[in-house]
C-alpha cells in the first residue's frame, strides 16, 4: 500500500508494518485514537489516513506523550493545538537537557582513570554544580 492510495489493510498487516501487536491497535481504537473502517463481520480495514495516525501516535509516544495527551492533541485545532504543542515542546526540551547532563556524567566517569572516580578532582569539577542543588527531574527510560 502506498502512502497516498486508498487500499485497505487488515489489522495484522498494519501491526506488522509498524512492529506492533494487534491488541495495541485495538486499544488505541478503544481510547479514541483510531477509527478504522469496518467491513463485513465488523473486520477492521485501515486506509492510508489511518497509517498516518498510527505513525503520529508512535512519534508522540516517543516524544513522551501519554495516550490521553495524544488524544487531546489530535482532537485540538488552531491555537489550542499550538498551546498543547508548545507545552510538550517545553517538557521535551527539559528532558533533553537532563539527558545531556546525564551523558556528561557518564562521559566524566569514562574519562577518569582513578579507582574511585568520585574522588577524582576532574570528575568532581564536572559534578560540583550539583552539590546543594535540587534533584534533577526524573527522565523516564
Task: Report pLDDT for 128.
Answer: 80
- Is there a single domain that holds both residue 11 and residue 62? yes
State the pTM of this model: 0.73
C-alpha closest to that of 31 among 57, 52, 10: 57
Q: Of the residues 24, 54, 75, which one is the last residue of a structural domain? A: 75
CATH number of the domain within which 2 lies: 1.10.1660.10
Range of the domain at 50: 1-75
Question: Is the pLDDT assigned to residue 136 strictly greater than 70?
Answer: no
Task: Report pLDDT for 104.
Answer: 85
According to DSSP, residue 138 is labeled P
- Is there a single domain that holds both residue 88 and residue 45? no
Task: Report pLDDT for 94.
Answer: 93
According to DSSP, residue 131 is labeled T
- pLDDT tens-digit readout, 11-59: 999 999 999 999 999 999 999 999 999 888 888 999 999 999 999 999 9
Task: Report pLDDT for 127.
Answer: 77
- Is there a single domain that holds both residue 36 and residue 60? yes
> With contact defined as beta carbons under 8 Å apart, do 40 and 32 qualify?
no
Task: Report pLDDT for 117.
Answer: 83
> With contact defined as beta carbons under 8 Å apart, do 78 and 92 qualify?
no
- pLDDT tens-digit readout, 74-131: 999 999 999 999 999 999 999 999 999 889 888 888 888 888 888 888 888 777 877 8
Total domains present in the chain: 2
Q: Of the residues 26, 42, 75, which one is the last residue of a structural domain? A: 75
Q: Of the residues 49, 75, 101, which one is the last residue of a structural domain? A: 75
Amino acid at each position: 500500500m502506498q502512502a497516498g492510495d486508498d487500499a485497505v489493510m487488515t489489522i495484522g498487516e498494519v501491526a506488522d508494518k509498524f512492529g506492533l501487536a494487534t491488541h495495541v491497535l485495538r486499544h488505541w481504537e478503544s481510547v479514541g485514537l483510531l477509527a478504522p473502517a469496518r467491513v463485513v463481520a465488523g473486520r477492521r480495514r485501515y486506509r492510508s489516513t489511518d497509517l498516518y495516525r498510527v505513525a503520529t501516535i508512535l512519534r508522540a509516544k516517543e516524544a513522551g506523550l501519554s495516550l490521553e495527551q495524544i488524544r487531546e492533541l489530535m482532537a485540538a485545532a488552531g491555537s489550542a493545538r499550538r498551546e498543547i504543542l508548545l507545552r510538550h515542546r517545553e517538557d521535551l526540551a527539559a528532558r533533553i537537557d537532563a539527558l545531556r547532563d546525564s551523558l556528561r556524567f557518564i562521559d566524566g566517569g569514562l574519562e577518569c582513570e582513578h579507582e574511585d572516580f568520585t574522588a577524582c578532582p576532574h570528575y568532581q569539577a564536572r559534578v560540583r554544580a550539583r552539590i546543594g542543588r535540587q534533584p534533577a527531574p526524573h527522565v523516564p527510560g
